[in-house]
Amino acid sequence: MRLCFASNNAHKLDEIRPLLPATVQLLSLAAIGCTEELPETQDTLEGNARQKAQYVWDHFGVACFADDTGLEVTALGGAPGVYSARYAGPQRLAEDNVAKLLHELRNHPDRTARFRTVVALVLPDGTVHEFAGAVEGHINPELHGTGGFGYDPVFIPAEGDGRTFAEMPLTEKNGLSHRSRAVAKLVAFLNQK
């Protein structure tokens, strides 16, 4: 099955590619000729994932899936949540987002957080299916590690050994991550097709 992953984030493509079955030919947005920025104007992760996947289906006629991920911090009432990528502004710079997060948490003893991902899949018949995954953890007060992207240098998963996602090899992160859990549900669904 030819399936486009509706994301311009090369890091996400690298994470997802090894999780998909060999029967899926993963296409990038560039491979289908999509060079425009995908819309993300909804106020929920579910809404943004559906909007991006539907956009690719409507404009390019290619079966696809899209994800939206948010970091939900307890002390911040679930923020940055759906605005995680642009938490510090429209420039969408990970360094700025992490710096703002650490500044916001500087006086909070509760640093619990979770990453949550929603994947929306649009099949060749136009039907839409959703899959979600989450991982609990906490925010480290300092950046650690050079791997991963986004908030990975400050997020320590509860199921891990005290390292941030940025300190883990990709295969190890994929064994714990919110995105891999959502994609595992997507893969299980595709394997039934």
Type of residue at 21: P
Amino acid at 74: T
- Please give the share of the chain, as a percent, with pLDDT higher than 70: 99
pLDDT at 125 over 80: yes
Q: What are 43-97's pLDDT values in tens digits?
A: 999 999 999 999 999 999 999 999 999 999 999 999 999 999 999 999 889 999 9
pLDDT confidence of 185, banded at 50, 70, 90?
very high
Give the residue, 149 or 121, on which the prediction is more confident: 121
**Cα separation of 191 and 193, whole Å?**
5
Sign of CA dihedral 167, 112, 68, 181: positive
Count helices and strands (H / E) in the chain.
5, 7
Average pLDDT, the chain: 93
How do the domains of the chain map onto residue ranges? Answer: 2-191
What's the whole-model pTM score? 0.90
With bands split at pLDDT 50, 70 and 90, how would you rate the model's confidence at 117?
Answer: very high
For residue 101, give the H/E element and its range.
helix 94-104
For the chain, how many residues are written? Answer: 193
Domain 2-191 has CATH 3.90.950.10: yes
The verdict on whether 43 is a catalytic residue reads no
The answer on pLDDT for 193 being more than 80 is: no
Round to whole Å and give the CA distance between 18 and 76: 34
Query: How would you class 82 by CB atoms within 10 Å of its CB: exposed for 0-12, middle for 13-18, buried for 19 or more?
Result: buried
Q: What percent of the chain has pLDDT over 90?
A: 78
**pLDDT at position 17, please?**
84
Residue 114 pLDDT > 90, yes or no?
yes
Q: What is the CA radius of gyration of the chain?
A: 16
The one catalytic residue in 67, 68, 125, 152 is 68
Confidence of residue 16 (pLDDT cuts 50, 70, 90): confident
